[in-house]
């Protein structure tokens, strides 16, 4: 119930985001590839900002069916 960002230069975990639900899908997006969108099991999406390492938003029941 967490997502760990890997630092390829340091070869270790750079940051951990708590998801509070199982994470089923993940995508990096944004003009500068600085937004991380995770699909959670019950159809919720969580959006993180990679620059400031913060949670930007949670969209409850954003997807009509569970995400697998």
d(CA 49, CA 9): 20
Domain boundaries, position 28: 23-68
Q: 11 lies in a domain?
A: no
Percent of the chain whose predicted confidence (pLDDT) is above 70 = 94
What is the chain's mean pLDDT, rounded?
86
d(CA 2, CA 21): 8
| Per-residue pLDDT tens over the stretch 8-41 | 898 999 888 888 888 888 999 999 999 999 888 7
User: Which pLDDT belongs to residue 65?
Assistant: 67
- Please give the model's pTM, rounded to 2 decimal places: 0.76
Number of compact structural domains in the chain: 1
Residue 66 has pLDDT above 70, yes or no: no
């Amino acid at each position: 119930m967490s997502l760990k960002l890997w630092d390829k230069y340091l070869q270790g975990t750079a940051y951990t985001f708590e998801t509070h639900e199982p994470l089923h899908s993940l995508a990096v997006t944004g003009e500068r590839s600085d937004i991380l969108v995770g699909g959670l099991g019950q159809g919720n999406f969580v959006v993180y900002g990679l620059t400031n390492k913060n949670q930007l938003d949670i969209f409850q029941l954003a997807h009509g069916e569970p995400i697998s």
